[in-house]
Amino acid sequence: MHELAIAQDIMDTVLAERRSRRLGAVRAIYVTAAAMSCIQPEALKSAFELLAERSELEGVRLEIAKLPMVAICDRCGALFDPRAVAQVCPTCGEGRLNFSGETEIIIDSLEVEENA
């Protein structure tokens, strides 16, 4: 299951970060999923809860935001919604576009308790 692997990735990253920065208990994890990824936020949350059970991340809130889909024109760099304009740059008419979101998921921030 795709979401399970991603949830495992998030956990590993957060635990490593917590250790290296000597952070207090984690309360919430904020992540952003790329628009092009096929992540189902609800499935990812369930997978995370399952993995976090009986670990030091049990009960941690996972907040998932999804980026809007954005295309970037190869020629002029304009950003636009590729669903609205038939895959052609609305500024210069260029047909070669890049799509944002090669990375499926980004950990934005952690909410942690202050160290006593």
Question: For residues 26 and 60, is the Cβ–Cβ distance under 8 A?
Answer: yes
Residue 104 interacting with Zn ion (CB under 5 A): no
Residue among 28, 50, 65, 76 that touches Zn ion (CB under 5 A): 76
Residue 83 tokens, joined: 């669903």
Rg of the chain (C-alpha set): 18
User: 91: how many CB neighbours lie within 10 A of its CB?
Assistant: 13
Residue among 56, 92, 111, 113 that touches Zn ion (CB under 5 A): 92
Residue 71 interacting with Zn ion (CB under 5 A): no
Interacting residues toward Zn ion by CB under 5 A: 73, 75-76, 78, 89, 91-92, 94
